[in-house]
């Protein structure tokens, strides 16, 4: 083949007039067409004239062009392209350094798992609203007696009766007494938790029976009809959810009760009770017994303080007829505080602790990433020298961090969920059974924010460094120390110092709480608790009606127990 290269002078001329940012494309486009024409067998003369013609007519338009390239428009497609590119690049570089990637992912997984687990608990306890209409109106009320050294003494029925009668703050008030029944089902006796409730409890909670009806005021009187409402779980378990249970009788402590209704699932909130029976008491019975718990629904707009003032007025007005009310006084509090208040401090402290663990993990990762970016500073220097925008490099580093964060968050979420389940399995009796710790949108959102936050925290320092690199410094310093790397080393030291500080705080806090627990364990109960077993027996009042029969039963029972091998002593 003959000489098929474009005329050199013409090409040089063109390259002189076309702005730098487009030069290569213009020249190579023209080369391509030139080669096509040559391949078509055009004469040298034709080819040269064609090329010179192109150059000549390109001169003026090219000379008129601005010398700086147009700004890249931030169109969606451009952004998406760069994001996809960055994600791909991130995967490539991370796969090239699997040790770094795996270390970071592992640390993040642990950090995020801890946070997700504790947050699930916090969410289940305090953030998820109670499953009742207007849960904010529900309050717990009780009596307190500082003079007896008791924070809560329980409700006495005469006080409740007066409060219910005369208050101006509540829509409804109810009291409950938790109890247990010996239930005979298919010839087999079972111990079932239940609650004796006043008839208005369903109205207070705003629940409707899924089947049948609520307890009526007539049934809630001494000598009233014996009726029972079944808890939803109990109904499913023992009756297979059959609707024809209504009207059947259930044997509780040897007495027949007519089944009048089935409670909705959320009613387990009350004492985990599987059965509700009427309290059926009045002011004349046990006026000096404080044993019940109160649940009330405030009128819209009434504050807890106003309700307390209202009840205190009624309570103290009774002193003349009921002198003990001098000692006792009402307390009112949000329902969750009463049932879960003791967990709040613990879970909040745990949340703080796991947060700090994640922060330490982030500091660790930031240190690793920074060390890595020192190793990569040559790459960054070259990219900057070739005209990469600093913003793009920072974006690239952020993307790498985000990819790592997401890779750590997914297993973290799963591990956190498993940890929550395991934790709950370890302490089944500690929490009321109506509390669930399912993953909900709050937990996922929390983890998502946490991931973003973590990525931001551990990527910020390296990203800032990379985008502030000075090209010449980096390229010259590829072999050894320079001010550039010295600066990075200083940040690295700062990170390590911060990390140690955080770890120290965590250590101190953990140490203190361990001490607390030890103190608790050391409290001497006043007796030797080793090798002592306790249990409860409930005698059906039908067969063991009076005290004589009770005493006779236990005397015989204890004899039998004492005669067992391995029993040193027994008492009741």
- In the complex with another protein, the residue whose CB is nearer, 29 or 542, is 29
Question: What's the Cα-to-Cα distance from 142 to each of 152, 205, 334, rounded to whole Å?
Answer: 7, 17, 12
Question: What SS3 state is found at 259?
Answer: strand
CB of 30 to another protein, least distance (A): 5
Stretch that binds another protein, among 72-80, 194-202, 225-233, 525-533 (CB under 8 A): 72-80
d(CA 121, CA 515): 24
- In the complex with another protein, the residue whose CB is nearer, 26 or 304, is 26
- In the complex with another protein, the residue whose CB is nearer, 64 or 536, is 64
- In the complex with another protein, the residue whose CB is nearer, 1 or 99, is 1
CB of 512 to another protein, least distance (A): 59
- Pick out residues in 36-55 that bind another protein (CB under 8 A): 53-55
Q: Which two tokens stand for residue 470?
A: 């000075």
CB of 110 to another protein, least distance (A): 39
CB of 68 to another protein, least distance (A): 10
- In the complex with another protein, the residue whose CB is nearer, 57 or 249, is 57
CB of 95 to another protein, least distance (A): 20
The count of chain residues that interact with another protein, using the rule CB under 8 A, is 31
Sign (positive/negative) of CA torsion 197, 203, 206, 211? positive
Q: Using N-to-C axis directions, what is the helix angle for 483-522 and 441-467, rounded to 10°?
A: 150
Sign (positive/negative) of CA torsion 306, 311, 312, 314? positive
Contact between 20 and another protein by CB under 8 A: the answer reads: no
d(CA 173, CA 167): 10
Residue 276 has φ and ψ, to the nearest 5°, of -115, 130
- In the complex with another protein, the residue whose CB is nearer, 66 or 480, is 66
- In the complex with another protein, the residue whose CB is nearer, 75 or 284, is 75
Question: What SS3 state is found at 222?
Answer: coil
Q: What is the DSSP letter of 431?
A: S
Stretch that binds another protein, among 71-79, 127-135, 286-294, 506-514 (CB under 8 A): 71-79
- In the complex with another protein, the residue whose CB is nearer, 78 or 303, is 78
CB of 46 to another protein, least distance (A): 14
Contact between 388 and another protein by CB under 8 A: the answer reads: no
Mark 312-335 as b/e (b = at least 16 C-beta within 10 Å). Answer: eebbeebeeebebbeebbbbbbeb
Contact between 407 and another protein by CB under 8 A: the answer reads: no
Contact between 14 and another protein by CB under 8 A: the answer reads: yes
Q: What is the DSSP letter of 168?
A: S
| CB atoms closer than 10 angstroms to residue 62 | 17
Stretch that binds another protein, among 22-30, 154-162, 292-300, 419-427 (CB under 8 A): 22-30
- Helix residue spans in 167-231 (DSSP H): 201-205
Stretch that binds another protein, among 13-21, 208-216, 229-237, 244-252 (CB under 8 A): 13-21
Contact between 32 and another protein by CB under 8 A: the answer reads: yes
Residue with tokens 């629940």: 207
Contact between 431 and another protein by CB under 8 A: the answer reads: no
Contact between 79 and another protein by CB under 8 A: the answer reads: no
Stretch that binds another protein, among 76-84, 172-180, 339-347, 445-453 (CB under 8 A): 76-84
d(CA 214, CA 277): 10
- In the complex with another protein, the residue whose CB is nearer, 33 or 266, is 33
Stretch that binds another protein, among 19-27, 414-422, 464-472, 535-543 (CB under 8 A): 19-27
Contact between 5 and another protein by CB under 8 A: the answer reads: no
CB of 42 to another protein, least distance (A): 15
- In the complex with another protein, the residue whose CB is nearer, 60 or 521, is 60
Contact between 560 and another protein by CB under 8 A: the answer reads: no
Beta bridge partners of 136: none
How many residues can be counted in the chain? 572
Q: Which two tokens stand for residue 114?
A: 């801890």
| CB atoms closer than 10 angstroms to residue 349 | 13
Residue 58 has φ and ψ, to the nearest 5°, of -90, -15
d(CA 176, CA 205): 13
Stretch that binds another protein, among 11-19, 160-168, 234-242, 401-409 (CB under 8 A): 11-19
d(CA 9, CA 335): 91
Contact between 78 and another protein by CB under 8 A: the answer reads: yes
Q: Which two tokens stand for residue 77?
A: 């497609």
Residue 170 has φ and ψ, to the nearest 5°, of -105, 145
Q: Which two tokens stand for residue 334?
A: 């949000």
Site residues for another protein per CB under 8 A? 14, 17-18, 22, 24-26, 28-30, 32-33, 53-62, 64-66, 70, 73, 75, 77-78, 81
């Amino acid at each position: 083949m003959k000489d098929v290269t474009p005329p050199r002078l013409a090409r040089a001329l063109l390259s002189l007039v076309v702005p730098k940012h487009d030069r290569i494309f213009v020249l190579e486009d023209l080369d391509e067409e030139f080669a096509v024409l040559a391949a078509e067998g055009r004469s040298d003369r034709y080819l040269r004239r064609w090329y010179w013609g192109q150059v000549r007519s390109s001169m003026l338009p090219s000379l008129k062009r601005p010398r700086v390239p147009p700004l890249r428009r931030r169109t969606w497609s451009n952004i998406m392209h760069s994001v996809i590119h960055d994600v791909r690049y991130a995967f490539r570089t991370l796969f090239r350094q699997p040790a770094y990637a795996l270390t970071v992912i592992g640390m993040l997984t642990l950090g995020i798992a801890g946070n997700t687990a504790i947050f699930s608990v916090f969410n289940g306890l305090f953030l998820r609203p109670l499953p009742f209409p207007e849960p904010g109106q529900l309050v717990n009320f009780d009596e307190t007696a500082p003079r007896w050294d008791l924070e809560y003494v329980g409700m006495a029925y005469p006080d409740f009766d007066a409060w219910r009668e005369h208050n101006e703050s509540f829509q409804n008030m109810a009291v409950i007494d938790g109890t247990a029944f010996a239930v005979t089902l298919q010839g087999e006796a079972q111990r079932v938790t239940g609650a004796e409730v006043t008839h208005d409890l369903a109205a207070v909670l705003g629940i409707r029976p899924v089947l049948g009806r609520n307890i009526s005021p007539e049934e809630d009187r001494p000598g009233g009809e014996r009726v029972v409402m079944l808890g939803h779980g109990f109904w499913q378990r023992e009756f297979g959810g059959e609707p024809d249970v209504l009207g059947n009788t259930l044997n509780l402590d040897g007495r027949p009760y007519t089944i009048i209704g089935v409670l909705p699932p959320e009613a387990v909130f009350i004492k985990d009770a599987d059965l509700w029976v009427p309290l059926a008491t009045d002011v004349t019975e046990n006026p000096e017994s404080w044993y019940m718990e109160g649940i009330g629904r405030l009128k819209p707009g009434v504050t807890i303080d106003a309700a307390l003032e209202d009840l205190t007025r009624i309570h103290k007005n009774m002193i003349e007829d009921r002198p003990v009310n001098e000692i006792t006084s009402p307390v009112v509090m949000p329902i969750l505080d009463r049932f879960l208040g003791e967990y709040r401090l613990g879970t909040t402290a745990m949340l703080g602790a796991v947060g700090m663990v994640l922060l330490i993990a982030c500091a660790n990762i930031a240190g690793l990433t920074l060390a890595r970016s020192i190793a990569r500073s040559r790459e960054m220097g070259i990219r900057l020298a070739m005209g990469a925008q600093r913003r793009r490099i920072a974006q690239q580093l952020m993307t790498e961090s985000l990819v790592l964060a997401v890779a750590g968050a997914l297993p973290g979420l799963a591990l956190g969920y498993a940890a929550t389940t395991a934790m709950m399995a370890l302490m089944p009796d500690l929490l009321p059974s109506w509390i669930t710790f399912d993953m909900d949108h709050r937990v996922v959102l929390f983890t998502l924010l946490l991931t973003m936050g973590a990525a931001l925290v551990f990527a910020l320092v390296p990203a800032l460094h990379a985008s502030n690199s000075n090209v010449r410094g980096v390229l010259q310093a590829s072999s050894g120390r320079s001010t550039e790397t010295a600066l990075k080393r200083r940040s690295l030291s700062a990170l390590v110092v911060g990390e140690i500080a955080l770890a120290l705080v965590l250590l101190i806090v953990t140490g203190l709480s361990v001490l607390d627990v030890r103190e608790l364990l050391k409290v001497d109960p006043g007796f030797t608790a080793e090798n002592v077993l306790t249990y409860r027996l409930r005698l059906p009042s039908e067969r063991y009606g009076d005290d004589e029969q009770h005493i006779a039963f236990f005397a015989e029972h204890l004899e039998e127990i004492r005669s067992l091998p391995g029993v040193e002593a027994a008492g009741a």
